[in-house]
Structure 1
């Protein structure tokens, strides 16, 4: 440009370029007129050719070198590409503070510099011309160190999610770093970068995996560098539980429901102290009641042992004398001596099947041959093992492997299955309880005969029989419903309202003869009277059990009633656990059902119960009996 043109071009940061020239030149139409071009490439070219255009005052105020103004790029021009890369030309100029100004030959072509925002790529892929979106080569950047990289080159973490790992180590985080001379290096666990891509300074296209793409960087707002470039950060925290109450439990009021306004602290503490005192008194009263009950039971057993002479002299020779003498019958109802149970049970049950003494031996040998040859049904053997596991667990004498009577019980059950095979009948769950009670009082040879004859009584045979006996079982359910409606009409009406029939709870009581639900001492006494009175006493005992549970049988929910009858009431179980009671005994122990309470209900039915009523009902429902 000629010197007489007096043209002054000044660059103001953030305001673009201002041109000053004479008015005569503006109207000149000569061929030597110079056309000013205000593109970014042309402006940089003019600034590089004429460094004297930049004022010295600005350089002195800034305390920089003579070329500092040339390094200050125009902030009015965008240098950010939306694919995550930055303008390598401006970055290279800003990263080399001591580099000289570029000459005209070193300036990038005008077409390589974005003219406006329309030139900025919106694609996530790289340019197909072998360079980055801004079109600048970074071959000179290979000699630069990592410390000389601009602040905007900070890499962003990549998060990897692996659902096959455990929750604490499922999410990992790795950092992808970019070195000016070696390109981007990614985590080896994800993938590796080829050497051809490593020589370029641009960032590769974002991966389409689950990795989060890196955000675009800006030289004006640098981000802190990642803490570790290659080591993934994994959080391993183990949840810990404190032994004491939680912070919420400490402030939660235990003396008022949560839906009511809270009490003040003094009132809450006072009521809590009162509640603890009442609970202490309740536990003391319960312990006193248990001791009194134990003392009465020991006194009753001592009285039975003292009456053994009467048993041996008047009852043992002819047990039928009990039906003729009311005093002997009352003595029988109070319970028989333990040492006489084997002989008295054998006489009371009888031998209606006319089984020989060798019947058990023959059936057991057949069972052993079937077991050795593999012809014994595997399903039946598995059912026997499962039934034995739940048989009187509190006694620990029938436990597999350690119980002294386990082998005898298993042999007796296998022999019983073989004896029923000729009739086409299989195993019934609950038989192990009856066999266990018999084995506790007599030898297997005697017990097998007693067991077979006992289960051949009409009511027991109907419960242990095949599908053909279903009509008889339904007849017995109707008999019990009639007795329940006459004895406890309120419970009968509640059961009918919730559609609870005797079939929902009566088989669980009668098939094992109450051994699953009642304490062992109460069951032993029930068995004494059952063998004497027959099937009618089974229903009388069942009514007595319902009478003990009567205060609990008015729940408005059907499922809650069924859970209570099964011995699975949640509230009662929680109370038993809180009091530290063992739950391996009878199911109704949690309801406080014991021998004394049960027999109080049975004795209270003496005036109401009539044998004539039982006979009339059986003749109506079971005319063929």
Structure 2
């Protein structure tokens, strides 16, 4: 092999000259000393793998002599050496004692995009030295304890599809978030204390006015007299005592269907028991009743399987199904919620009588008989009231093709609000009529107003139905935190909208100053339902 070719291989990486400058003073015109001939490897020898190349010792011995010829040889022989000769040049450099370290590829960036360097993103992170440099610590191997590379760049306060924040900024924001969550928990604790104090005050008030309630319900009771007397109406608004609620509801609802008070329930119950014993009760309806009973007021923990209260409620619902079959109708969703409300405050016979008469009112009759024309008419009534009270929310819902969920009407708001608030709402609904359902729904819209401007149908629907994913995730996280800390927590929600902070006092504070007018609702009903 020609020594000139070997020198050219050493210089093949410096196509643009000598970057190190160590040969810049060598004269290209100096006489070239003679050198012993060196055997040149042929292409055939290279292919056949014959060891025709000179040894590293001979190259090192002639290193000084070859260096004097580098300038004249580089131009004539550059590029004539194949890639197989390049390795021998590296061996030559190592043998000649060169202090230049080998270059390594830089480490791969942990993200496919650069770290932001704008002033708003905080300080620019320092770039670590390349491996092999002085003062550089090699990364820890897998399985070694310590902060992982991902943890060093992963942002905890920014979505993963966005470029990560600088670590200092991320830690600052995480600390601020923890402070906000701490304040929110303190605020929630204060709210609960205030709620308990107001509930205790209300209990003392109801105890003080119990004689007045007993006198009101003992004499000739008249709904019209209570509605026309502002003092009695305010008394009713403050809530009926729990032990008198069943009697108050039954008197306010009355018996417009003229059903037999003593025999109606027991007659339909005997028919239901015979159908169950003979296997003639529809099995799909029976299965649906059992499933709905499992979801009926779980916050009270009184309707679990095997509970005698559950058995009484099931008998009540089965008797109602038989009663509905006489008019050619079957089971209806949400009936277990309505039956449970009456079963909790009245004996079964009175609860059945109140349930049937309560569902005979125009609005509930339309939804529980699936009369499409009447349902649309009641929705037009609500939209007119909504447009007057909340025009921006109405316009947003209209553009999105969204209207109030039917569950608001079918469950008479039992599913939406906490149980205590539902009882007080029913105090008003049995007295005031269907209009109070619309009034309470508008109050809920007022409470949720800031969440109802977003121009997204699924988002608005998830808020109205109480299934917003982000809010549910926060509630689940707080339950998990309470579980880990050994604190008291409730698995089920007391009303679907309570996750947004809607509770009894917030709702009735809004109703106390909503400026509702019964005449407006009555005119709309007459206009939309002339028959």
Output the TM-score relative to the length of structure 1: 0.57
- 2:265·2:349 contact (CA, 8 Å) conserved in 1? yes
Q: Please give the alpha-carbon distance, in whole angstroms, between the structure 2 residues aligned to 1:334 and 1:247.
A: 62
Give the structure 2 partner of residue 498 of structure 1.
400
Q: 1:250 to 1:396 in 2, by over 3 A?
A: farther
How far is the alpha carbon of 1:363 from its aligned partner? 0.4
How many Å separate the matches in 2 of 1:464 and 1:596? 30
1:476 alignment counterpart = 378
Match of 1:443 among 335, 347, 363: 347
| Alignment partner of 1:592 out of 501, 512, 523 | 501
Equivalent residue for 2:513, pick from 597, 601, 604? 604
Work out which of the residue numbers 461, 465, 485 in structure 1 matches 2:369: 465
Matched residue of 2:184: which SS? helix
Greater CA drift, 308-317 or 438-447: 308-317
SS where residue 579 of structure 1 aligns? helix
Higher deviation after alignment, 258-267 or 296-305: 258-267
Query: How is 1:232-243 mapped onto 2 (pairs within 5 angstroms)?
Result: none
Residue 285 of structure 2 corresponds to 380
Work out whether residues 409 and 437 of structure 2, in 8 Å CA contact, stay in contact via their aligned partners in 1. yes
Question: Is the 8 Å Cα contact of residues 364 and 410 (structure 2) preserved in structure 1?
Answer: yes
Provide the secondary structure at the position in 1 that maps to 2:308: coil
Establish whether residue 541 from structure 1 lines up as the match of residue 446 from structure 2. no
1:428 and 2:346 aligned? no
Over residues 118-141 of structure 1, what are the superposed CA-to-partner deviations in whole Å (9 max), with x where a residue is unaligned?
xxxxxxxxxxxxxxxxxxxxxxxx
Instruction: Tell me how far apart the structure 1 counterparts of residues 269 and 163 of structure 2 sit (CA, whole Å).
Output: 71
Structure 1 residue aligned with 2:193: 291
2: CA distance, partners of 1:498 / 1:540: 23
Q: Which 10-residue stretch deviates more, 423-432 or 314-323?
A: 314-323
Of residues 323, 331, 355, the one that matches 2:235 is 331
Quick one: distance in 1 between partners of 2:269 and 2:148?
A: 60
Assess, with a 3 A threshold, how the Cα gap between structure 1 residues 266 and 381 changes in structure 2: closer, same or farther.
Answer: closer
| TM-fit CA distance, 1:396 | 1.7
Distance in 1, matches of 2:258 and 2:287, equals 31
Distance 1:272 1:383, change over 3 A: closer
Distance 2:462 2:148 in 1: 32
Match of 1:348 in 2: 252
**Structure 2 CA distance for partners of 1:406 and 1:248, relative to 1, 3 Å:** farther
Rounded Cα–Cα distance in structure 1 between residues aligned with 2:188 and 2:230? 36
Q: CA deviation at 1:340?
A: 0.7
Q: 1:359 is matched with which residue?
A: 264
Is contact 2:153-2:167 (8 Å) kept?
no
1-side partners of 2:151 and 2:243: how far apart? Answer: 56
Cα 1:268/1:386, change in 2 over 3 Å: closer
Verify: 1:303 aligned to 2:201, yes or no. no
Distance 1:328 1:272, change over 3 A: same
Q: State how far apart, in whole Å, the 1-side matches of 2:446 and 2:149 are.
A: 45
Q: 1:404 to 1:372 in 2, by over 3 A?
A: closer
Instruction: Confirm whether residue 550 of structure 1 aligns to residue 455 of structure 2.
Output: no
Q: Which has the higher contact order (CA 8 A, sep 6+)?
A: 2
The structure richer in strand per residue is: 1
Instruction: Determine helix, strand or coil for the equivalent of 1:429.
Output: coil
1:195-210 alignment runs, 5 A limit: none
Q: How has the CA–CA distance of structure 1 residues 464 and 256 changed in structure 2, closer, same or farther, with 3 Å as cutoff?
A: closer
Q: 1:610 to 1:252 in 2, by over 3 A?
A: same
Q: Contact conserved, 1:435 with 1:451, CA < 8 A, in 2?
A: yes
**1:313 paired residue number:** 215
Gaps of at least 5 residues in structure 2 are: 1-47, 49-145, 480-488
Contact 2:153/2:164 (8 A) holds in 1: no
- The Cα RMSD (Å) is 2.2
What is the Cα deviation at residue 248 of structure 1? 3.8
Q: 2:166 and 2:407 mapped to 1: Cα distance?
A: 51
Match of 2:418 among 519, 535, 560: 519
Contact 2:296 2:337 in 1 (8 A): yes
Report deviation, 1:279: 2.3
Contact 2:226/2:232, CA 8 A, preserved across alignment: yes
Q: Describe the shift of the 1:488–1:457 C-alpha distance in structure 2 as closer, same or farther (beyond 3 A).
A: same
- SS of alignment partner, residue 405 of structure 1: helix
Does structure 2 conserve the Cα–Cα contact (< 8 Å) formed by 1:319 and 1:344?
no
The alpha carbon displacement at 1:489 in A equals: 0.3
Distance 1:337 1:247 in 2: 64
* Cα distance between partner residues in 2 of 1:371 and 1:260: 61
Q: What is aligned with 2:467?
A: 568
Q: Does 1:530 align with 2:429?
A: yes
Indicate how the Cα distance of structure 1 residues 595 and 316 shifts in structure 2: closer, same or farther if over 3 A, else same: farther
Q: For residue 258 of structure 2, give the secondary structure of its aligned residue in structure 1.
A: coil
Counterparts of 1:247 and 1:461 in 2: how far apart (Å)? 65
Contact 2:157 2:174 in 1 (8 A): yes
Flag the 1:446–1:284 CA change in 2: closer, same or farther, 3 A: same
Which blocks of at least 5 consecutive residues in structure 1 are unaligned?
1-75, 77-243
| Rounded Cα–Cα distance in structure 2 between residues aligned with 1:461 and 1:330 | 29
Kept after mapping to 2: 8 A contact 1:315/1:322: no
Give the 3 Å change call, closer, same or farther, for CA 285–378 of structure 1 in structure 2: same
| Structure-1 separation of matches of 2:242 and 2:424 | 10
Larger Rg: 1
> How many residues are paired up?
374
* Post-superposition offset of 1:247: 7.0
